[in-house]
Structure 1
Amino acid sequence: MPNPFNQQVIDEFRAHHGKVGGYFEGARLLLLTTTGARTKTPHTTPVGYYPGGGDRVIVIASAGGAPQHPDWYRNLVAHPRVRVESGVFTYDAQAVVLDGAERDRLFARAVEADQGWAEYQAKTDRVIPVVALHEIPQDGPPHIEAGSMGEALRLVHDGFRRELAIIREEFASSGSSLGAQLRVNCLTICQGLHRHHAGEDLGLFRALADRRPDLTPVLDRLRVEHERIAVLVEELRRVVGERHADPTLVLPEVVRLAEELEAHLAYEEERLIPVLEAAAAP
């Protein structure tokens, strides 16, 4: 059973689809469910994370610099298959404890993003573990805790809004350099947007076009906006990928993408969510 503080965070996280206040407000947070090393019962813990590139996220077993590894880490060492809740998606993952140069590189990347990790390491004699959580592919659509397709669409959109807000805040505090983790964060949201829009074009939009020919002008506009956003995504990828990328050049691309995407999401929600909700009504 989580301690009272963790349980409060877990309850708030689930009730508000990943949005919490207090200490974790505005932070990247996930719920990690592990299997007890001895009890073999499930244990859920709120854990901060970083995008890891591809279909993995990175978590760090700091325990605030305590002398012992946190329970969730000992659990996943014994039972590496875990459950991840992002606030939008819930999926199974394979936990891989990183070592050697890869562990050191990713820990240094985290320290570059937040000096607090270095402070935690300085407080303990143990080497703080770094763990990659690799999403396990599954058949069918991703699992979203939503009561309808309309709600699911809004939750996915809110996830993109939240991530872009975090990235813009990271730029505000990054100073004169574009850190390695911030690069990964930008590239990860680019990948996520590409996958989401490709899925809509091939799935949702085709299904709606077959059932609701009257929506053709709306769907045509949304497809054009997808193409325009894809251009902005590629431009962001290009400037982020430059070896000596200048944050003052990258930030405007982030802002352009965020503004274009916000207008697109608002229009899509306005025109499609009522249709999806009506289709789900008994």
Structure 2
Amino acid sequence: MGTIDATASRAFARTAMAVRPGSTGSRVLSAAFRGHVRLYRATGGRIGARMDTAVLCLLTTTGRVSGAPRTHVLGCVLDGEHLAVVASNSGSPEHPQWYRNLVAEPRVRVQIGPRAFTAVARTTSGQERERLWRRALDTAGILEDYQRRTTRQLPVVLLEPVDARGAEVVAALAEPVTGSAGVQRALVAASTVQLAAQLAGQVLALRRGAAFDVALLRWRGRPERIGRDSWLYGTGFSAPVPMMVLQAVSTVRLARAPQPVAARALGVLGTVMVLGYVVERETRAVLRPAGRDPVATPVVATCLATAAVMARWGRRAATRG
């Protein structure tokens, strides 16, 4: 994974580390993750199944109390015909609910892209865990931060397909993500994360009255007009609504088929948004150490980092399309 892409992933992951359970930020994140699951399913994994070379899967467990199916998006580590996932829970003191569920009922359902299969989950230990843990760190270095944050050892769970069909699905993932298709998938994934973070930023700005404030051009909105201004000028934490609509349309079009025009549009939008975040007073304020905010700072950092990814990968996808 490239440096900018790793930065974006780390920024988004730090959002989960920064928010408190039950807070507004926590509710926004939960809504974003639920939306990710729905988008993944609705598009058969065309959107949401990859972040550059990292593989994301849908893991469905059986609720140990309710008995109902519970689905989460998780990063995967390939291990031959098996997959491994890490029960990090963003470094929280407690294991995630999905891990508790699979301990009670190891039979799970895994979806990768459009294909799904049944697997049996097993918590690894000893040298096997250490080997898989090192491989997981190669894909998601943020796991080291999670481990330092808690005293519990983060469980590494091996997902073993119950039949040959599941093994075939996993084996297909070993094919490298290269060329224009890989670049486009990376761009779609980055834009999806960026758009979700922007929507969270807009909601936050509307609640706080954080109007746009571009000191360089002496443009400044008023809190009482933030709703109307968000359409033309954006807010202190998000781009104008028409830009977000264009971003959403271009992302969906690129997810459906290679389209240099859509890729170029996302690249241009990413560049414009990076410039916008740099000159916006509200953004600069929450990114400074003295102005760190438990909700706004991680949201804005995610917006800025993923916009940088869009600017970079948009140009590459357009030229390779």
* TM-score normalised per structure 1: 0.47
* TM-score normalised per structure 2: 0.42
Which structure's relative contact order is higher, taking Cα pairs within 8 Å and 6+ residues apart?
Answer: 2
